[in-house]
Every structure is written in C-alpha cells, then in structure tokens.
Amino acid sequence: MNIAIIGLGLMGGSLALSLKKLPFVNSIVGSDHNKEHQKVAIELSLVDKIVSLEEIKTCDVIFLAIPVNGVIAILKTFNNIPKETTIIDLGSTKELIISSVPSSIRKNFVASHPMTGTENFGPSAAVENLYKDKVVVLCNLEDSGEVQQQTSKKIFKALQMKKYFMRASEHDRHAAFISHMPHAISYSIANTVMKQENKHNILALAAGGFRSMSRLAKSSPHMWEDIFKQNKENLLEAIELFEDELTTLKNDIINENWDNVSDTMNQGKTLHDILD
C-alpha cells in the first residue's frame, strides 16, 4: 500500500511514524505548504519524500492532516482520481466537511476524527504512538465505498485504535463538549491572567493545576479558528451551557449558599466515575 500524507504537522507526522511500521505499507510520501515543515519532515524521516499534488493522487491512500477549512478546499481539487483510491481526513469537525465533498469522489472519501493530539504542532512535534489505544470516530461510513470502508478499517485497526461509528452531526455536537468548548475556555483563562498587571508574579506561583487548565491555550490558533468556524453552533451551545453552570456556582458563592456549592462540586466529581 502506497500512502500519501498531506500536512506533516503533529497529526500527519505522528501518523507517518506509526504507519512506517506496518507490514502492508510500502511507501509514505507527503506534502506540506510550509517549506520549513517539508525540510524538517525529511530530516526526521517522517516521509520518504516530498511530492507534488499530482503524484499524491496516484497513491492508494491519501490522508488529509491539515486544518479543516483546508480539507474542504483541497477535496474540491480531487477530481479524476482512481475509483479504488481512499482519501481519509483527520479533521476535528465532520459535518461541513462531509457536506462539501464533491459527489464525484464521495465514495473515495472517509471522514475520520482520531481523538488524540498534544498542544504542540509542526513536524518536530510528531511522536510515536500518538494514535495507539486512542479512539477514532468514523462518520457516515456507509456513504464511503466498500473498498474505502475496508481500507480505512484495516489501517485504524493496525494502528491499534478503538473505532466508533456515528453520524457527523452527532460527532460534531460531542466534539464541541469534549474538545472545542474546553479549548475556548483554556484560551480565556490564559487571557484573564495575561491582562493582569502583575501577571509575572501571578504566574510564578503556577503549579500543576494551572498548567492543566492553560495547556490547551498553546494550541495552534490557525487550526482552532477553522474548527470554531465549522462547528460554530454546537460550540456556542456548549459554551452557553458551561456559562450557565459557572453562573450558578458563582451566584451560590455570592449568596453563600455553601450547601449548594458543595452539592455542585460533588456532582461535578461524579464525572470521573465515568471517565476513569
């Protein structure tokens, strides 16, 4: 199997590191619009070589590991590709991408979202085992061709990922709660502190808790702007439900309803009965 990866950052680069080890993978080529990323990807041996978009279209499997608006744009250029070719995107939103796929390549296309990542980005952020034992969501898979369904399942199985199948609309709403809203909050926490006059003194005291809560604010603004655009309505709903929760807690603190404050924290804590 000859594989191409468009976008050699954290997700694409890490994917290359994992795919390289699979017995059924013959070659991995790549492309990236950033010349420096191309250079680093070769230096780190993430891919065998950097190739043109035309050459990419001759591969058996093409991964799209670029920001979600880029996925929509590039899919529009994929005409005249062989019937058996599989195109898999890794974007954090799914509904708008799926509705934007040209009908001529709809069967070639598989919409996936690997629930993994770190706050770092670029090819130097690539790490082995980023995908292993993680969840991958496959959306509207019945609309992909039979070959493409089998190929994508084979690859994600070989990457030792846990597959979840769902509708794109369901995925996007879930992702807003689990990922997109928390990112918005993390950026807002960071800005709250950065606007304090004595931010250096405040941050000198930062321990693990604050690092956890501000870590996501390291993420790529370019990538997240696209995600917020594509999942706007679900994101806003999740933010507003969160705001309601925080307002309730705040008002209980203002009014010194400490029993309510305690109940609220005890309720929140039950999340970890499910999560852990």
Q: Hey, which residues between 213 and 272 contact its own copies (CB under 8 A)? A: 213-219, 221-222, 224-225, 228-229, 232, 235-236, 238-243, 245-247, 249-250, 253-254, 256, 258, 261-262, 264-272
- Least distance from C-beta 101 to its own copies, angstroms? 22
| Edge-to-edge strand list for the sheet holding 162-166 | 49-50, 27-31, 2-6, 61-64, 86-89, 109-114, 135-139, 162-166
Residues 180-199 contacting its own copies, CB under 8 A = 181-196, 198-199
CB-based contact 144:152 (threshold 8 Å): yes
- Least distance from C-beta 172 to its own copies, angstroms? 11
For residue 120, what are the CA distances in angstroms to 128, 137, 206, 221? 14, 22, 20, 11
Phi, psi of 87 (to 5 degrees): -115, 120
Residues 40-59 contacting its own copies, CB under 8 A = none
What is the DSSP-derived secondary structure letter of residue 206? -
Task: Name which position in 23, 52, 80, 211 contacts its own copies (CB under 8 A).
Answer: 211
- Least distance from C-beta 247 to its own copies, angstroms? 8
Residue 87 and residue 6: Cα distance in Å, rounded? 10
Angular region, 135: left φ>0, alpha ψ -120 to 50, beta rest: beta
Residues 65-104 contacting its own copies, CB under 8 A = none
Name the one range near its own copies by CB under 8 A: 12-20, 27-35, 41-49, 206-214: 206-214
Q: Site map for its own copies, 116-145, x if CB under 8 A?
A: xxx---------------xx-x--------
- Least distance from C-beta 217 to its own copies, angstroms? 4
The residue type found at 19 is L
Exposure string of 115-130, with b = 16+ CB inside 10 Å and e = fewer, is bbbeeebbbbbbeeeb
Task: Name which position in 100, 122, 164, 169 contacts its own copies (CB under 8 A).
Answer: 164
CB-based contact 14:128 (threshold 8 Å): yes
- Least distance from C-beta 221 to its own copies, angstroms? 4
Which residue lies nearer to its own copies by CB, 149 or 264?
A: 264
Q: Is 163 in the site for its own copies (CB under 8 A)?
A: no
